[in-house]
């Protein structure tokens, strides 16, 4: 498993660095494209072009780092591939669960209508599921509780996508919320692929690339202005995908060279 551990470290370290630059690129874009008088975004601004090009290049770089996964067969215990066995991956999932649950608790206190309350409750449930996935590890990955822990983040991110789109639907400035919508849409797909390992439909490369893209956009979206609860939940979601990617890449079996 030493080669797999090196792959996991290389992939996750690269993702963290690329995510940090994605945050910086989005922050610079936010500082420069919105007109002070109207609040509208400047068309064809240089920082917007740079942000788009950077995100495309970052996704391609992650795909290149994940090329060894294409040649790696699935592990014998498929459900266990999405669960970390201690280490940095488990730490990321525990932190993700804590941040997501805290964001949900703050949202529940501030909610004044039905949809935000439901989203806050789902955040609390998803946060608990993320933390449980880390605590259970690989030994209990094929249990019914582990399957539920894989399913709850899917419901949470999908519902968050609906609530977010509804909240921003009347905003004519698409750049103000586009990164958040993309982060949630990509995150819903990544969470779906992760759940496939618990329900007997694993797609390793799709899950790995989905987690990488979702984490990139989640951390880029942190440069936008939103309530503290939303920032915590978005950071938790990004950490969830990094921890899951660490578990997946650490679980692949290296291909033995032919003699």
Mean pLDDT for the chain overall: 89
Q: Tell me the pLDDT tens digit for each residue of 184-241.
A: 999 999 999 999 988 888 899 999 999 999 999 999 999 999 999 999 999 999 999 9
CA distance 191 to 214: 9
Task: Please give the model's pTM, rounded to 2 decimal places.
Answer: 0.91
- The ranges assigned to domains in the chain are 2-251
Q: Tell me the pLDDT tens digit for each residue of 42-64.
A: 777 889 999 999 999 999 999 99
Asked if the model's pLDDT at residue 170 lies above 80, the reply is yes
């Amino acid at each position: 498993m030493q080669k797999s551990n090196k792959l996991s470290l290389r992939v996750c370290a690269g993702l963290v660095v690329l995510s940090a630059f994605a945050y910086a690129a989005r922050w610079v874009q936010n500082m420069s494209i919105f007109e002070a008088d109207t609040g509208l975004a400047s068309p064809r601004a240089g920082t917007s072009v740079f942000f788009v090009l950077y995100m495309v290049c970052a996704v391609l770089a992650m795909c290149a780092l994940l090329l060894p996964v294409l040649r790696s067969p699935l592990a014998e215990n498929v459900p266990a591939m999405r669960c970390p066995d201690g280490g940095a991956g488990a730490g990321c999932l525990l932190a993700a669960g804590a941040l997501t649950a805290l964001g949900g608790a703050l949202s529940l206190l501030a909610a004044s209508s039905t949809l935000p309350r439901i989203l806050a409750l789902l955040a609390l449930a998803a946060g608990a599921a993320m933390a449980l996935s880390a605590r259970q590890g690989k030994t209990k990955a094929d249990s019914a509780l582990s399957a539920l822990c894989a399913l709850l983040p899917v419901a949470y991110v999908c519902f968050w996508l609906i609530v977010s789109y509804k909240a921003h639907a009347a905003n004519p400035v698409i750049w103000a919320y586009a990164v958040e919508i993309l982060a949630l849409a990509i995150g819903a797909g990544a969470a779906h692929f992760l759940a496939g390992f618990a329900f007997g439909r694993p797609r390793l490369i799709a899950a790995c690339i989905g987690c990488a893209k979702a984490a990139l956009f989640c951390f880029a979206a942190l440069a936008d202005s939103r309530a503290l609860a939303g920032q915590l939940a978005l950071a938790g979601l990004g950490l969830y995908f990094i921890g899951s990617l660490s578990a997946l890449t650490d679980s692949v079996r290296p291909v033995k060279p032919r003699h």
